[in-house]
Structure 1
Amino acid sequence: MKRLTALFLCGLGILVGRVSAQSLASPTDTTVFTAELFFELIRANHPIIKQAGLFGEEAKQVVMQARGAFDPKLASSYDRKEFGNTLYYNHWQNKLLVPLWWAGIDLNASYDQNAGQYINPAERTPSSGLAGIGLSLPIGRTISIDARRSAVRQARLAVNLAEADRLKLVNKTLFDAAKSYWEWFLAYQQRRLLVEGYELADLRFRALRERALIGDAAIIDTTEALITAQDRLVQRQQAELEEQNARLRVSTFLWNERGQPAELPVSAIPQQAPLTTYSADTLQALLNRATQQHPELLKLAAKAQQLTIEEQFRRAMVQPQITVSASLLSQTPTVDVPYDWSDYYSFRPQNHKIGLDVVFPLFLRKERGKLREVQVKNQQVALERQQTNRDITNTVQAAYNQLQALAGQVIVQQQAVQNQQRLLQAEQQKFDIGESSLFLVNSRETKLIDLRIKGEELKTKYQKAIAELYYVAGTSQ
């Protein structure tokens, strides 16, 4: 009986080792779905990434709308009155207005043909019409900037705002995806370890039951082994459920090139979590990048530039508004009547129109109030930029500190797992020669499983910390 028991225990040890080796080995019918491929698919097909790409296109259309203020405008009006066989008046007026960017000048060309018995003498023209060409020049408030140029400059800066919003949305999407991926990694590792633990407990229970049937073990030992197997079965079922839900969260980020939702393949498993080290040089590079290209700082910089342009415009509005206009006039030729080019289409200085418009509010309360409002907003943005810059720097430093701490914890946890493995092996050897109990073996084994799961949790936190470090630095690279 002693020889039979020894042979049985040796066989049990061999079976336990085989189960452990099989559970640790990667299945042959699975495919590793790497994080790099996961992020590439998101960048290429995710609707939110595509939506973020439209921000810039929307901003470009805003610029086009602002530039519409400088589009040439052609206007024509016709008005005629005839009563009792008498032509009271016949007005036909045409004007082409061409706004110029420089100094707010407007070029204009006109053609008027007015006739009639009761027409205003100041509006009467030759029978062939009267042509004019001239310009309108602002003097004072709008010679350096006006509403049209201010709108175009601010719209151009809105493109920078849109780019900052795009980067922010892309970074947030990839950060959420990274967290989901590594949560799936943890759920997969937990399920794998708990399956291994359950198989070992179930194998030990069946072995003890066979020994109890031949009278070599107490029935109560089989009860304890059964309880351990049942407890690990419940943990395994819960881990399988958590892995399924984690796979669903990963699938949320998967879309094909046609914009249709995609599912994570059943055979896909996550990659291993590499323990990549990051030096102080990496931290400094991220800090430099954050202070220059962080989306929040880019947005505030664009807003500050917009407010600076608005302030320049409001300062100009405080000045008197003086507009000078001048046009040269010339008679147009008559059809089928001989003419001399020196008489027609000759814009001579003695034939002209000039005008002067002066507008100046006496109290300037509206203009001064708007100017002060813009100045206050500009100061607020400047202060917000200072605080945001400080917050980003401290957040990046804190994320780096957390990453370094987790790196040390992962190493220590790996050492703890190795030590616990040695304790389990020693306890198993003592149990094989009858100097230990099943309770101690189960305790050592349960502790080893817990330490392994904790090690995978630390690896998951470490990978999340890497993603967070780059996210708070304003980059998803």
Structure 2
Amino acid sequence: MKRIALAWIVGLLVLAWIGAAHAERSERFKLPRPDPSAVQDQVPVLTLEAVTEAALLSFPGLVAAEQRKAAADGEQLAAEGGFDTQLKLQSRWSIAGLYENRNYDVSIEQPTGLWGTTFFGGWRRGTGNYPVYEGKSQTADAGEVRAGVNIPLWRNGPIDRRRASLAQAELAQLIAGHDYDAALLELKRVVAQRYWDWVFAGRRRAVARELLTISERRDAGLRQRVAAGDAAAIEATDNQRTLLERRERLIAAERMLEQMALQLALYWRDADGEPRIPIPEQLPEAFPEAVPPDMHDLAALVEEARQRRPELRKLEQQRKQVEIERDLARNQQAPGIDIALMGAQDFGTGTSKLINREEFYAGVTLDLPLQRRVARGRTQTAEANLQRLAADIRLAADRVALEIRDAGSALKAARQRIALAREQRATARQLAEAERDRFELGDSTVLTVDLRELAAGDAALAEAEAMATFFKAMADYRAALGWLDTPARD
């Protein structure tokens, strides 16, 4: 009877121990959760939006792109200088010779964009003695006022260097804006890549730490069982090997997390633009839900991307610049035929011929370079550049379409991997839990349990990696579509 009672007592103790093990089992392979008592002291979670906002404010590469926009504004201002009003002053005195005279001349010239027309005017005064052949240099005592206009009929009429440079400078402003948009788009993509690498590194560290915690708990129980003679000493030794291996895994995971944090710090900056290194406490508890985008109408997405992508818009503006250069070069091959009209009026007193003298002049100027090699060479160069840009535009458009298809394929594959990894993780967890139960009953070994637990840990990592891959592919997809979340430039 005593033996039967003792057997019942031992049986009840074993059942109680197994029940406690089952109660703890569901929590063994979950990632660590924050202590509720420390919620108030918890560091705020670092989000992708926070890192992106910090990068947009002070990332040096984006600041450099902003300065290119400022440089383009300066070029545009310089091109407008081609239409600046020109004021000239000239004085001339005869200090020795047969004829003593003095001449003063003030002229003003205003180029315009109206068919290359230039308006001019001025005042001059000539006093003293002049030879007969320079009689026109003498004016009444109040001087002569003149005004006129110069109109190019062929060369420099439809287009000239001033107007071409101004139009090209305006296009250069748009090009600088598209360069900035391209830098912004790439920055957002890279920030997302680095952020999800950091989150995945945090998941790897959490899994490694959980595996180590399980081994440490088992080690304490094994030591007691070995001391009581309920387990072989080799099992405790084997668990020590497992402990050392998992500590090494944790060190490697912590190193990867630190490395990813340093890479993320390049983009997460403070108000002074200095890099900030995120700490593990800022990691999110888990990845957000992987929601795939709507990609049913792929042709519409490709067309939308071709309208949005900054590099394509930049190439279009460059093509317009070269077209302007080609049109100018063609125009410069034409003869220069200019019409000049001018009127003059003397004021004040003087000889009878000079008092209130009124004059009106009309003239035609013909300028024709015979070989025209400069203009022809520039025309040939511009036409070749247009052909090159047409090929570049086609290549860029094809690349955009393929990038969207590739991003869509990556998203689809990542979603499939996530589903499979979750099933694999659930199965591996069940096997690890069952193997631990068998070990507690003496039907398994530490080596087999270790292999099961490592398989469960690898499955958890596979799921986290698939999630990170999905969100990185999502960043590539948004970049391929040219989503800037800022107003698009014309």
Structure 2 length-normalised TM: 0.88
Q: How does 1:376-395 map to 2 (within 5 A)?
A: 376-395=384-403
Partner in structure 1 of residue 101 of structure 2:
89
Secondary structure at the aligned position of 2:45 is classed as strand
Note the 1:330-345 alignment, pairs <5 A: 330-333=345-348
2-structure distance, mates of 1:267, 1:217: 40
The structure-2 alpha-carbon separation of the partners of 1:17 and 1:249, relative to structure 1 and needing over 3 Å to count, comes to same
Q: Determine what percentage of the aligned residue pairs are the same residue.
A: 22
In 2: Cα distance, 1:427 partner to 1:19 partner: 13
Question: Residue type matched to 2:44 in 1?
Answer: T
Q: Is the 8 A contact 2:130 2:138 kept in 1?
A: no
Choose which of 198, 203, 207 in structure 1 pairs with 2:217.
203
Could you list the runs of 5+ residues in structure 2 that have no partner in the other structure?
1-6, 486-490
1:294 is aligned with what amino acid? R
Which residue of 72, 75, 79 corresponds with 1:62?
75
- Using the alignment, how far apart are the partners of 2:460 and 2:60 within structure 1? 38
Query: Is 256-265 or 380-389 further displaced after alignment?
Result: 256-265
CA contact (8 A) 1:324 1:357 kept: yes
Q: Secondary structure at the match of 1:128?
A: coil
Aligned pairs for 1:100-249 (under 5 A) are 100-118=112-130, 120-249=134-263
* Closer, same or farther: CA 398–266 of 1 in aligned 2, 3 Å: closer
With over 3 angstroms needed to count, the CA separation of the structure-2 counterparts of 1:13 and 1:220, relative to structure 1, is farther
In the other structure, the counterpart of 1:413 is 421
Letter in 2 for 1:280: M
Q: Cα offset for 1:8?
A: 5.4
- Secondary structure of 1:267's aligned partner: helix
Provide Cα deviations, 1:381-439, integer angstroms capped at 9, x if missing partner: 11221122112111211221111111111111111111111222222232233333322
Matched, 1:431 2:425: no
Secondary structure, aligned partner of 1:466: helix
State how far apart, in whole Å, the 2-side matches of 1:172 and 1:159 are.
Answer: 20
Aligned partner of 1:308 in structure 2 is: 323
* Aligned mates of 1:249, 1:228 — CA distance in 2: 32
- The runs of 5 or more residues in structure 1 that have no matched partner are 338-342
Check the 8 A contact 2:99/2:129 in 1, yes or no: yes
The whole-number CA distance in structure 2 between the counterparts of 1:285 and 1:30 is 43
Equivalent residue number for residue 275 of structure 1:
290
More off after superposition, 384-393 vs 277-286 = 277-286
Q: Is the CA contact (8 Å cut-off) linking 1:273 and 1:460 kept in structure 2?
A: no
Cα distance in 1 between the residues matched to 2:425 and 2:189: 30
1:273–1:463 Cα contact (<8 Å) kept: no
| Partners of 1:19 and 1:426 in 2: CA distance | 13
1:74 aligns with 2:82: no
Which residue does the alignment assign to 2:488? none
**TM value normalised by structure 1:** 0.91
TM-superposition CA deviations, 1:347-382 (whole Å, max 9, x none): x5xx12333321111122222222121111111111
The 1:215/1:8 distance shift into structure 2, 3 A limit, reads farther
1:364 is matched with 372
Please identify, of 115-124 and 98-107, the stretch whose mean Cα deviation from structure 2 is larger: 115-124
Instruction: Report what 2:460 is aligned to.
Output: 452
For residues 152 and 210 of structure 1, the distance between their equivalents in structure 2, rounded to whole angstroms, comes to 88
Aligned-pair CA distance for 1:81: 2.8
Q: How does 1:456-471 map to 2 (within 5 A)?
A: 456-471=464-479
Distance change (3 Å), C-alpha of 1:457 and 1:245: same
* 1:253 matches 2:267: yes
Contact 2:115 2:157 in 1 (8 A): yes
- In structure 2, what is the Cα distance between the partners aligned to 1:395 and 1:11? 54
- Partners of 1:139 and 1:329 in 2: how far apart? 24
Query: Is 1:50 the equivalent of 2:58?
Result: no
**CA separation in 2, counterparts of 1:391 and 1:272?**
31
8 A contact 1:5–1:216 mirrored in 2: no
The answer to whether the 8 Å contact 1:175/1:476 transfers is no
Q: Does the 8 A contact of 1:16 with 1:200 survive in 2?
A: no
* Cα distance, 1:138 vs structure 2: 0.6
* 1:12, distance to aligned residue in structure 2 (A): 5.4
Measured on the aligned residues, the alpha-carbon RMSD in Å equals: 2.4
- Between stretches 426-435 and 169-178, larger displacement belongs to 426-435
SS across alignment from 1:216: coil
| Partner residue in 2 for 1:323 | 338
* Distance (whole Å) between structure 2 residues aligned to residue 254 and residue 26 of structure 1: 24
Distance 2:383 2:94 in 1: 55
Counterpart Cα distance in 1 of 2:143 and 2:220: 114
- What is aligned with 2:314? 299
Contact 1:12/1:207, CA 8 A, preserved across alignment? no
* Conserved 8 A contact 2:261-2:279: no
Report what 2:4 is aligned to. Answer: none
Q: Which amino acid aligns with 1:326?
A: L
Deviation at 1:19, TM superposition (A): 5.3
